Amino acid sequence: APSPLAPGLLAPGLLAPGLLVLLVFAKEDSQNNGFCWACEKANFRCNVARTPEAALECFKEKHHDLVIIDHRHSRYFDAESLCREVLLIHFYLNGFVDLFGVCCCRPDREEASVMPLIKSGFNRRYVENANMMACYNELLQLERGEVLAQFKLRACNAIFTALEQSQEAIEITNEDQVIQYVNPAYESIMGYQQGELIGKEITEVPKSEKNKPDLLETINSCIRKGKEWQGIYYAKKKNGDSVQQNVKITPVIGQGGKHKDRRKGSLDVRSTTSRGSDGSSQRRHSSMARIHSMTIEAPITKVINIINAAQESSPMPVAEALDRVLEILRTTELYSPQLGTKEEDPHTNDLVGGLMTDGLRRLSGNEYIFAPHLPSHLAMPLSLNDIPPHVAQTMENEDSWDFDIFNLETACLKRPLTYLGLKIFSRFGVCEFLSCPEATLRSWLQGIEANYHSTNSYHNSSHAADVLHATAYFLCKERVKQSLEQIDEVAALIAATVHDVDHPGRTNSFLCNAGSELAILYNDTAVLESHHAALAFQITTRDDKCNIFRNMERNEYRTLRQAIIDMVLATEMTKHFEHVNKFVNSINKPLAALEENGSVKGILTSPDNRILVKRMLIKCADISNPCRPLELCIEWAGRISEEYFAQTDEEKRQSLPVVMPVFDRNTCSIPKSQISFIDYFITDMFDAWDAFADLPNLMQHLDNNFKYWKGLDERKLHSLRPPPE
């Protein structure tokens, strides 16, 4: 029989009042009295017998749990034969030996062998000591130790008796799926004799073909997880007949942590339970217990708890799928695809390392110094009406995707953001919404633009103007208009304008590695994006002349500010996959499910989803270069590469870690880096955005541009353009 099946039945506290002790002492002496006092103190009932005859008589009647026999004076009686007789009676009464006998011996026999005593059936020697505390301690130790074990065995016996009498067929295996026991009901239902089955692995017993092939695997994986399985199972009788049975399988986790299968009904399970998986499933349970016990519930904890609860009542395949879900949910990097080892493309790795991670390590003493860009030409008046005709001309088609921002850049002497901003903001009625004079907007745009570094080859105000252009374009798409309100549009336009203000032309990882002031200020976390958002509001509010929010109602301002900050922070690339995946799951998928119906308004306008739309919108606008017409796409690719090259140059100069080694001006393949960027960041995101906003022209350009870079790469060219013929 396996170890105690039901230790829970035997709560030790329940034992004490019931323990019954027989003392066999020929004369009342201090030792005898010591045990009497001890029994009283321990709250045990106690009988005293003076002769072997009286002892046997009393024992037959009361059936004591513990017998203490005086062995010190052989002239009164033979303790060893008395012990044997007591055991014999006990055996006849109970069918098995579980009595606990203690003999009391003189100190001078301490050196003698205990063997004769053990042979007589004593299981413990107590050396004469009449001190009451010593007697009491002995009784307590006996009760907590061996007597308790005897009780467990008795309970075990009772349980086996119940199993024998049960009408239901029961089978027990050990953790290696070797059959340990079947009950008589099992024998009569299945037609086997115990002897034919015990000691066999259950794989050796023939199985019915009527079960679904994957049923055993399902059952096994359930048991491996320590869960009960219940369901319909076809068992094969010895005579070959299949019988349909309602079966329940329960893993028994013993104190050693091993599983045992106890079966009701008759069942065969093929594979064995591996100990390794036992261990891990227990670890998982304990970590689950920790999550359950957290007092402050994060949303993810609530989700995990809901899934746990749902698992309880789910059929096995669902419960298993939910197990996998839980595994994934417990990891922290929920939205970042893991770069597998097979994805060894250095361009992708560098882009991911350079754009999606913060510092590798911080070096002290290598401060990155910002060139301070104070808004210096606020004084120069500029109005929509003052826009010179040749500049206005370059903006005529600014509502088209194919608008060429570089024409504007050339025409307006490094002020593309101010000019394009004035035009676009007036098209969207931003001044009216903000109740702000056009002059304030003008000053504001100039102040913001002045804080873009024109020395950056990519992150200068031309990029900001480009993102503003894309944002305005997306805002005009039907679906986007259905989803957003005017305050969202205004927030999006402002966020696009400020989203890279004071960008130093270096990546977050560079700033962290260099231990820049900003990285220290922002704890290496979303360093640039935090700075862009914070600085934008500083520039705006520190001077009434350019405070476009000045006339706003307080609550509306707070809402607008919140939305702007959220969008600027969303441009941080470490959260790229999180934003894209949330968008797909909360918006694309529900919309696709409702397609025929047309009742999409609820999905589009819920506050949570509006936030996701805005984030996706600014992210797509921010990195839409690969979806622009080929010539524009090539120009942007040249600029970003140059900015990264400059960073690598500086890293080398300052002995900083080189975050993106592929962007080395001597070796870099620009086509390869563009291909990787498109593959890793762009394709999925624009698929999702196109599915929402309907942007066939962008997708066409993307396709085109990708082919262009592929073509160069196939010719092993590293440059932006093919060499002249």
Residues that bind ligand NAG (CB under 6 A): 409, 414, 416, 454, 457, 460-462, 522-523, 594, 596-597, 599, 639
* Cα 161 from Cα 699, distance rounded (Å): 75
Q: DSSP assignment, residue 169?
A: -
Q: DSSP assignment, residue 584?
A: I
* Cα 27 from Cα 50, distance rounded (Å): 7
Q: Is 674 labeled as ligand-binding?
A: yes
- Number of other CB atoms surrounding residue 455 within 10 Å: 12
Q: In the bound complex, what is the minimum distance in angstroms from residue 457's beta carbon to ligand NAG?
A: 3
Q: Which is nearer to ligand NAG, 84 or 414 (CB)?
A: 414
Q: Tell me which H or E stretch contains 70.
A: strand 66-70
Q: Is 459 labeled as ligand-binding?
A: yes
Q: Which is nearer to ligand NAG, 185 or 496 (CB)?
A: 496
Helix, coil or strand: residue 72: coil
Where on the phi/psi map is residue 722: left (φ > 0), alpha (ψ -120 to 50), or beta? Answer: beta
Here the tokens at position 142 are 């006996």
* Cα 358 from Cα 209, distance rounded (Å): 58
Q: In what order do the strands lie in the sheet with 229-236?
A: 179-182, 170-173, 259-264, 242-253, 229-236
Asked if residue 588 lies in contact with residue 660, where contact means CB atoms within 8 angstroms, the answer is no
Q: In the bound complex, what is the minimum distance in angstroms from residue 597's beta carbon to ligand NAG?
A: 4
* Cα 228 from Cα 202, distance rounded (Å): 18
Rounded to the nearest 10°, the torsion over CA 53, 98, 106, 35 is -80
CA dihedral (539, 540, 542, 547) positive or negative: positive
* Cα 243 from Cα 373, distance rounded (Å): 86
Nearest to 243 by CA among 273, 268, 279, 280: 268
Amino acid found at 57: E
Here the tokens at position 150 are 């005897």
* Cα 689 from Cα 614, distance rounded (Å): 11
Q: Which is nearer to ligand NAG, 255 or 599 (CB)?
A: 599
Q: In the bound complex, what is the minimum distance in angstroms from residue 530's beta carbon to ligand NAG?
A: 7
- Residue of 71, 459, 503, 532 with catalytic role: 459
* Cα 193 from Cα 182, distance rounded (Å): 9
Q: Is 622 labeled as ligand-binding?
A: yes
* Cα 407 from Cα 404, distance rounded (Å): 6
Q: Which is nearer to ligand NAG, 268 or 409 (CB)?
A: 409
Q: In the bound complex, what is the minimum distance in angstroms from residue 556's beta carbon to ligand NAG?
A: 26
Helix, coil or strand: residue 243: strand
Asked if residue 254 lies in contact with residue 278, where contact means CB atoms within 8 angstroms, the answer is no
Here the tokens at position 637 are 């690719």
Cα distances (angstroms) measured from residue 504 to each of 273, 398, 716: 59, 28, 33
Nearest to 716 by CA among 667, 677, 648, 669: 669
Q: Which is nearer to ligand NAG, 246 or 538 (CB)?
A: 538
Residue number closest to ligand NAG, CB atom: 454
Q: In the bound complex, what is the minimum distance in angstroms from residue 458's beta carbon to ligand NAG?
A: 6
> H helices of 234-315, where?
275-293, 299-312
Q: In the bound complex, what is the minimum distance in angstroms from residue 453's beta carbon to ligand NAG?
A: 8
Rounded to the nearest 10°, the torsion over CA 108, 112, 115, 119 is -30
- Number of other CB atoms surrounding residue 13 within 10 Å: 7
Q: Is 457 labeled as ligand-binding?
A: no
Q: Is 460 labeled as ligand-binding?
A: yes
Nearest to 548 by CA among 482, 491, 486: 491
Beta bridge partners of 24: 49, 69
Q: Is 463 labeled as ligand-binding?
A: yes
Q: In the bound complex, what is the minimum distance in angstroms from residue 665's beta carbon to ligand NAG?
A: 14
* Angle 488-492-496 from CA coordinates, rounded to 5°: 170
Q: In the bound complex, what is the minimum distance in angstroms from residue 724's beta carbon to ligand NAG?
A: 22
Q: In the bound complex, what is the minimum distance in angstroms from residue 531's beta carbon to ligand NAG?
A: 10
Known catalytic membership, residue 469 = no
Q: Which is nearer to ligand NAG, 461 or 516 (CB)?
A: 461
Q: Which is nearer to ligand NAG, 214 or 596 (CB)?
A: 596
Asked if residue 533 lies in contact with residue 579, where contact means CB atoms within 8 angstroms, the answer is no
Helix then strand then coil, in percent of the chain rounded to 5, is 55, 10, 35
Q: Which is nearer to ligand NAG, 454 or 719 (CB)?
A: 454
Q: Which is nearer to ligand NAG, 32 or 647 (CB)?
A: 647
Q: In the bound complex, what is the minimum distance in angstroms from residue 622's beta carbon to ligand NAG?
A: 16
* Cα 326 from Cα 328, distance rounded (Å): 5
Q: In the bound complex, what is the minimum distance in angstroms from residue 635's beta carbon to ligand NAG?
A: 8
Q: Which is nearer to ligand NAG, 111 or 596 (CB)?
A: 596
* Cα 445 from Cα 494, distance rounded (Å): 10
Rounded to the nearest 10°, the torsion over CA 603, 608, 610, 614 is -140
Nearest to 35 by CA among 99, 100, 129: 129
Q: Which is nearer to ligand NAG, 290 or 361 (CB)?
A: 361
Report the length, in residues, of the chain: 725
Here the tokens at position 317 are 């395949």
Binding residues, by number, are 459-463, 499-500, 622, 674
Q: Which parts are annotated binding residues for AMP?
A: 459-463, 500, 622, 674
Which residue ranges are tagged as binding site for Zn(2+)? 463, 499-500, 622
Residues with catalytic roles? 459
